[in-house]
Chains A and B, each alone.
Chain A
Amino acid sequence: MPEIPADRPLPRQAFEALSGRFPDSVLSSDFDKGELSVTIPKGILLAVLGYLKDDLGFGSLNDLIVLDNLAAPEGKKRFSLLYQLYRFPGDIRIRLVLDLDESEGVDSIVPLYRSADWAEREAYDMFGIVFEGHPGLRRIYLEEDFEGHPLRKDFPLAGRSGGL
């Protein structure tokens, strides 16, 4: 249970509801600078998001953020996916985190949040993350025959063969 100050009852309620509905699935959580983060296993992503959206009212996906954990200590999976959600009544933000290995794919959340369409294409383009069930997963910024994924930490900054 993260330490949520008493003057912030709404994030606390949201967290309690979430951890009550998925009792063994909250891997870790923290409340820092007024922002609630909850880490979940990737298998239940759609179930958790569906519950957050339909039952708790988190109707808006602010952003999908990908982190490359290349420099992190051994044992940490390569990527972290951060789903930044928002609820209009009460103005609460919640950040859902899941870790992903380089070879793994993850369920697309487009059926739940239509705004995720381009965000997932961007994550695919920049990090090479495969979203299963996305209606048209292809690069969004770079041309289709571009090699590599530029926002990965091991992407060379200069001297790339065949580059510009």
Chain B
Amino acid sequence: MAFKDIEINMGPQHPSTHGVLRLKLTVDNEVVLKVEPVIGYLHRGMEKLWESQTYAQCLPLTDRLDYLASLSNNLAFALAVEKLAGIEVPRRGRYIRIVLVELQRLASHLAWLGFMANDIGAMSVLLYGFEAREDILDLFEEYAGARLTIHGIRIGGAAHDLDEALVGRIRKVLSSVPRRLKDIRSLLDENRIWKERTVGIGLISASEAVDYGLTGPALRASGVSWDIRKSIPYSSYDEMDFDVPLGRQGDVYDRYLVRLEEIGQSIRIINQALDKLPPGEFRAKVPRTFRIPPGQVFHTVEAPKGELGFYIKSNGSDRPERVKMKSPSFINLQSLEHMCKGNLFSDVVGILGSLDIVLGEIDK
């Protein structure tokens, strides 16, 4: 019996759609012909909300976008406001920010690794990944009192100073990550089942990746060397020494390797920032409400998922006239159909997992 052009509905309540994503799939027996993502189940009208909040009030709302990397959202928004208002962040504040967002990248990539392996069927990796992430969340809790919606960055600098005791604990957690990563990699890297489910699956070439606007690890896995921390450095990334890991052919396995290598680079960056942590103020003196002269700005950062940016237009009042968020997951998800076409139905969850999307920032 043949099953041609069958439509299958996946989600919005499905364990491997990473939130509330619905996929309308058209299949010919086992082969995927069409994928249509249906989004909007988590749409909260964030861009409309921002228009009625003061700049400082907007900032905690950004925590709710990519809830697996809330500090990166904070940083992108704070940098855009600072650029628009001409606020200079003290050097110590910039270094603390680097420590925070790189820890966030570790946490985000470790959570991704767990989910991704779980989607493909390697249950135990989820537990190892989350165990390591848990220690990082403990650091955030100690720093700012929260684990997910951390809100550790303020306009003008960081929320708190880093004291010696916390620096020591960060170093201790960091020193445990490489060993844990080695354990995880020994389970997956040369695992025959893992490789059969990932190598050569979900291919996208470098030129197609650029055309689809892919950013972040998904773009670098196709071999395009583009990392905003290197090409348009913000904060004090130009004072850090790190490499940009690249993939070769842009399949699921390459995206896996690129993220794992990035974890190592993030550890390098955090250690350098802690070594060189400059003395002084950690936050500029910024009043709770302030007016920004009319102007516009577009500023992006390298978030764990890709290029995260904010366009802000000010009209002279203490609230933005318009905020537009460029969310990496929204753009990256668009290429799902291209990656899935011609692959097997059972590989859709693996390809979707390898994109590392978060519905909180797709739906805004």
Contact = CB atoms under 8 A, between A and B. Distances in A.
Contact of B48 (A35, A71, A151): A151
12 contacts: A35-B296, A62-B307, A65-B311, A67-B313, A88-B226, A113-B213, A115-B211, A115-B213, A126-B47, A141-B363, A141-B364, A150-B48
A93 B298 contact: yes
B26 to A, nearest CB: 15
Interface of A: 32-33, 35, 37, 59-63, 65-68, 71, 82, 84, 88, 91, 93, 95, 113-115, 117-118, 126, 139-143, 150-151, 155, 157
Given A88-B210, A117-B334, 18 more contacts: A33-B83, A60-B213, A62-B307, A62-B326, A63-B311, A67-B322, A71-B315, A82-B311, A84-B311, A88-B226, A91-B231, A115-B213, A118-B331, A140-B39, A141-B43, A141-B363, A141-B364, A142-B43
A150 B45 contact: yes
A26 to B, nearest CB: 18
A155 B52 CA distance: 13
| Ranked 10 nearest A-B pairs via Cβ | A115-B213, A141-B40, A63-B326, A141-B43, A65-B324, A91-B231, A65-B311, A114-B211, A118-B334, A91-B232
A37 B232 CA distance: 18
Interface in B105-154: none
B250 interface: no
A128 to B, nearest CB: 15
A142 to B, nearest CB: 6
A73 B296 CA distance: 18
Contacts of B39: 140-141
Interface centre among B48, B224, B363 (most CB of A within 10 A): B48
B212 A114 contact: yes
Interface residues of B, number: 36
A142 B322 CA distance: 20
B297 A35 contact: yes
Given A91-B232, A141-B39, A142-B43, A62 B297 contact: no
B309 interface: yes
Contact of B211 (A68, A113, A142): A113
Interface in B40-81: 40, 43, 45, 47-48, 52
B295 interface: yes
Contacts of B210: 59-60, 88
Interface in B322-336: 322, 324, 326, 330-331, 334
Nearest to B326: A63
B222 interface: no
A163 B174 CA distance: 50
A84 B298 contact: yes
B300 interface: yes
A33 B331 CA distance: 26
B52 A62 contact: no
Contacts of B326: 62-63, 84
A48 to B, nearest CB: 19
Given A91-B232, A95-B298, A142-B40, A118 B330 contact: yes
B84 interface: yes
Contacts of A68: 322
Contacts of B300: 62
A133 B296 CA distance: 30
Contact of B40 (A93, A95, A140, A151): A140
Contacts of A141: 39-40, 43, 363-364
B84 A33 contact: yes
Given A63-B309, A65-B311, A113-B211, A33 B363 contact: no
Given A142-B43, A151-B48, A62 B330 contact: no
A114 B311 CA distance: 21
